[in-house]
Amino acid sequence: MAAADYYEVLDPRFARLFNGNAQVDKLFTGCRWAEGPAWFAAGRYVVWSDIPNNRMLRYDETDGSVSVFRQPSGNSNGNTVDRQGRLVTCEHSGRRVSRTEHDGSVTTLAAKWKGKPLNSPNDVVVRSDGSIWFTDPTYGIDTDYEGDKAESEIGACHVYRIDPDSGEIEAVITDMVRPNGLAFSVDESLLYVVDTGRTHGAQNPAHMRVFNVGKHGKKVSGGKVFADCTAGLFDGFRLDADGRIWTSAADGIHCYDPDGTLIGKVKVPEVTANCVFGGAKLNCLYIAGTTSLYSVRLMVNGAKTY
């Protein structure tokens, strides 16, 4: 197959980011809605969620094998790895953010805000200061498909920060309809957050916003629209070492220059939900696409977050 079958160049800046001989590989299929891949460098494996099947799966890069990592998983969605190499997970039916310790035990990091249960934590990132930032839309309580149907007791969908010292949970962004994927810029001066409010009304957003992070990394300001999705909805995303954003969309992974220009796409034959850079050199992009886990080798390296 030709490079055009896997890549779409919309701006000359994208042409040097991929090798035309590198195809998009399907590594596993059999999920109902694949989400939240997280790369574990020490073990050379990827853990990701299969939300409706209430399980987490593990792909071993060393031999290509796939196994069940955890089931039930609390209908896990987004995952990340903290600076100590521990898995941090957003759970829909668990309605919490949890951390898997080195001994395998699971610790609840956040389950309530102002005494009320969270909606259904969706995606999560860990800042270099140890603070944990996560989004809390209602997708896991809207129906029984991705969790347990329930009413939102908070009555809104926010972005939260967990303080690394006190464990206090603070709402840092409160003006989004359905906050979803999020990630910091390479220097952590910016926070990008997706709003997938379009799922709850045609008048609602289908875009990504960018916020300025305060001097002490506890507050954000601004929040202008960085990009509108041109195919379906953005969901989860990650940055490469040069600050470009690689984000999921309906037709694959869209690549945005830091200036907000959509410069190209990695074509995937399913709606994609999330991605993560992995491999020994962080130049392999692992992609969660509806029923399957995909990968593609790129000519760029992912931003280090550990």
Please list the rounded mean pLDDT of every run of 10 residues in the chain (306 residues).
87 97 97 98 97 98 98 98 97 98 98 98 98 98 98 98 98 98 98 98 98 96 98 98 98 98 98 98 98 98 88
Alpha carbons 157 and 129: distance in angstroms, whole number: 25
Q: What is the pLDDT of residue 1?
A: 62
The token pair that represents 139 in the structure block: 């997708």
Quick one: DSSP state of residue 124? E
CA-CA distances (angstroms) from residue 109 to 69, 88, 146, 170? 20, 9, 21, 13
Residue with tokens 């020994």: 280
Q: What pLDDT is recorded for position 4? A: 81
Q: Closest Cα partner for 236 from 268, 208, 263, 211? A: 208
What's the pLDDT at 262? 98
Nearest to 193 by CA among 293, 285, 122: 122
